Amino acid sequence: MTTAGESAPAVVVLGSAGGPTPKAGRRPVAHVLDAGDGLTLIDCGNGVAGQLVEAGFDLARLRRILITHHHIDHVADVALLLHLAWTQLTEPVHVIGPPPLKELFELHYQAFDLDIRSRMHDEAQPHLREMVRITEIDTATTVHSGNATITAALVEHPPIELAFGYRVDVDRYSVAFSGDTRPCAAVVTLAAGVDLLVHETTYLDNALDFLPAARAERVLPRMRSVHTEPAGAGVVAASARARELLLSPVGAFGPTSDADIIADARTRYDGPISVGRDFLRVPVLSQESSPS
């Protein structure tokens, strides 16, 4: 059990970029919760294995991976991560997410069969699939994984039908992750009373500075229908009575100011707010561990 006096639980942003296009200084989406029996990874954008190591994490501590949906910036490296971590894993990693998660792994095993068989021979490893335990979900549900309780809720990210947000309750701590979504009641319910809400945001206030007017007319309504602007995330956090808000990942059409993003969210939420940047560490403080 981790305690604030020893190794305090925290969420570390491994990838804060919204969207699949490569961006300087921001990797694709991944967040890790370091609490309880090990590491809980939420989404696996490209490069997540290196980001975990660069952030100082031991891959042997990886216990579970939660996939929110099958857009490539969220799921690209889920099988690759476990392949790269394979020799360090001491127990199977629990992977939870919507279909076609099992098919994705089976295709990975087929594509890299030569490497897998070679490493089984050279390093006396069990087959990679023996180190992966997959739970596919297609509806709101609760999954018990180690000493963590994972609650999944369907969020609103059309046209993706199976897009999930997750709540992780471990020890006395609770953290909710919205996944990609427009503001929705499901996240409010999921995040009720959490110590930390990690909510995606897309900053559009300066979009016209970077988009031709004709493209903006087409694109901006679409973005608003599938993502959440900072003020909208503030509404969700306030409605859920979340104790703290981390806005991550961050989507935008050009350079953004953290101060501007926070100011927008602040119009609707008066608790602590931070904006995701790669390797930002946000301690998770339960009501018991917070200073009075």
290 confidence band (pLDDT: 50, 70, 90): low
Residue 128: count other Cβ atoms within 10 Å of its Cβ.
Answer: 21
**Residue 1: inside a domain, yes or no?**
no
SS (H, E, C) 163-224: CEEEEEEECCEEEEECCCCCCCHHHHHHCCCCCEEEEEEEECCCHHHCCCHHHHHHHHHHHH
Alpha-carbon distance values, 95 to 56, 122, 135, 165 (Å): 22, 27, 6, 15
The predicted model gives 12-19 an average pLDDT of 96
Look up the domain containing 213 and give its range. 10-283
- In this predicted model, what pLDDT tens digit does every residue of 59-70 receive, in sequence order? 999 999 999 999
- In this predicted model, what pLDDT tens digit does every residue of 167-214 receive, in sequence order? 999 999 999 999 999 999 999 999 999 999 999 999 988 777 787 888
Q: Which pLDDT score is estimated for 128?
A: 97
pTM for the model stands at 0.93
Cross-strand pairs, 147: none
Mean pLDDT of the chain: 94
253 confidence band (pLDDT: 50, 70, 90): confident
Question: Angle of helix 101-111 relative to helix 78-85, nearest 10 degrees?
Answer: 50
- In this predicted model, what pLDDT tens digit does every residue of 71-112 receive, in sequence order? 999 999 999 999 999 999 999 999 999 999 999 999 999 999
**Residue 289: inside a domain, yes or no?**
no
Q: Which pLDDT score is estimated for 177?
A: 99
**Residue 47: inside a domain, yes or no?**
yes
CATH code of 61's domain? 3.60.15.10
Q: Lowest-confidence range among 171-180, 222-231, 249-258, 265-274?
A: 249-258
- Give the C-alpha separation, 90 to 61, whole Å: 9
CA angle 38, 135, 191 (to 5 degrees): 65
Tokens of 271: 């608790």
**Residue 291: inside a domain, yes or no?**
no
The total of structural domains in the chain comes to: 1
Q: Which pLDDT score is estimated for 289?
A: 55
**Residue 51: inside a domain, yes or no?**
yes
255 confidence band (pLDDT: 50, 70, 90): confident
